[in-house]
Amino acid sequence: MRALVTGGTGFIGRHLVKALLEAGWSVVCLTRRRMVPAEPNIACITADLSVPQSLNLPPADMGRIDAIFHLAAQLPAPSGKIDPELYSQTNALGTAGLLKTFFQLQATVFVYMSSLPIIGKPRKLPITETHESRAEHPYLASKLAGEQLCEDIRRNHDRKIVSLRLTSPYGPGMPEHSVLPLFVDAALSSRDICFHGSGQRTQNFVHVSDAVRACLLAATSHAAGIYNIGGSSSISMRELAAMIVALIPGCRSRVIPSGRPDPQEDYRWDVNLDLSAKTLGYAPQIVLAAGISDYIDFLSSGKKPYQWWLDA
């Protein structure tokens, strides 16, 4: 089997590339800048999702592609700066261009990494795949547009396209500005861990290895359509902080309110995984405490995340 992967240098993407290689696949990574592979059975081509013409990949040059895993996206900047045009160009129009490539290469399956927060504020619990979508940020709106394009092609052209609505992925190599690594970083130094609001907002965390396994199941099962992919349970921010403190021997961090409001104070991310279990065969295997413990060990070891490419 041969896969084309976008976002292969990102958090989930690099784990997916590693898993594909271990499973005997050969991999072609699409990247914005030229990369030199450090692994056998991997190639790299240069293209930019924000420049649709760069996605014109001649089948004669590409060779056979069985599956396309589309993980690349223009993410929100940690600074909070919003660029709706860039999100739309990269995430919506870029997905449209890659779907065209899917047809041109005559690939069998297209796996799109979507995001559960495209639904906006959860209004009906537990959250199923039929929950209405009201994206609350231009980034999420662009991801929703990409998902809707995938669904339109799937329904009207009878193609195997799977959209995975991921909850909050975590694990080695995750972005350092999100809540879980910020809590862990504070706890490792015995600094106070501060939660916003009452700390009762819940989140569902899914380990990166479970997210990767969902991608592989999507490519090799008979499933098509939209599926929720998450962890086994949700946890409040206050409980998350307390769990992290308990997992670090000798940690003296206090779990205290920051005094700042939480704009998502009343959000509850309780996710229904019945459809993905029944159709994809997906069930999360990593419980949160074990996954966080593994992440703490990774940070403490000073190891770098896996990468399939050589440093310049």
Alpha carbons 167 and 190: distance in angstroms, whole number: 28
Q: What does pTM read for this prediction?
A: 0.96
Give the pLDDT confidence of 108-158 residue by residue, as tens digits. Answer: 999 999 999 999 999 999 999 999 999 999 999 999 999 999 999 999 999
Residue 19 lies in a domain: yes
For the four alpha carbons of 127, 131, 132 and 133, in that order, the dihedral sign comes to positive
Residue 290 lies in a domain: no
- Give the closest residue to 7 by CA, choosing from 81, 90, 89: 90
pLDDT, average across residues 163-172? 98
Residue 296 lies in a domain: no
Q: At residue 168, does pLDDT exceed 80?
A: yes
Number of domains in the chain: 1
Give me the pLDDT at residue 119, please. 98
| CA 136 vs CA 118, 122, 220, 231, 294: distances in Å | 7, 11, 33, 23, 33
Q: Residues 184, 186, 191, CA angle at the centre, nearest 5°?
A: 145
Residue 42 lies in a domain: yes
Residue 168 lies in a domain: yes
Give the pLDDT confidence of 261-270 residue by residue, as tens digits. Answer: 999 999 999 9
Alpha carbons 182 and 79: distance in angstroms, whole number: 15
pLDDT, average across residues 259-278? 97
The CATH number given to whatever domain includes residue 142 is: 3.40.50.720
- Give the closest residue to 69 by CA, choosing from 7, 116, 156: 7
Residue 165 lies in a domain: yes
Residue 196 lies in a domain: no
Residue 219 lies in a domain: yes
Is residue 87 packed enough to be buried (19+ CB in 10 Å), middle (13-18) or exposed (0-12)? Answer: buried
Is residue 156 classed as helix, strand or coil in its secondary structure? helix
pLDDT, average across residues 30-50? 94
| CA 161 vs CA 66, 153, 236, 290: distances in Å | 12, 8, 33, 32
Give me the pLDDT at residue 80, please. 76
Give me the pLDDT at residue 312, please. 67
Domain with 277, as residue range(s), is 2-172+206-231+270-284
Provide, rounded to the nearest whole percent, the portion of the chain with pLDDT above 70: 100
Alpha carbons 200 and 235: distance in angstroms, whole number: 9
Name the average pLDDT for the chain.
Answer: 96
Give me the pLDDT at residue 52, please. 80
Give the pLDDT confidence of 207-235 residue by residue, as tens digits. Answer: 999 999 999 999 999 999 999 999 999 99
**54 vs 184, which has greater pLDDT?**
184
Q: Could you give the residue ranges of the DSSP H alpha helices within 173-304?
A: 179-188, 208-220, 237-247, 274-275, 288-301
* Strand pairing report for 168-170 and 42-46: unpaired
Residue type for position 40: P
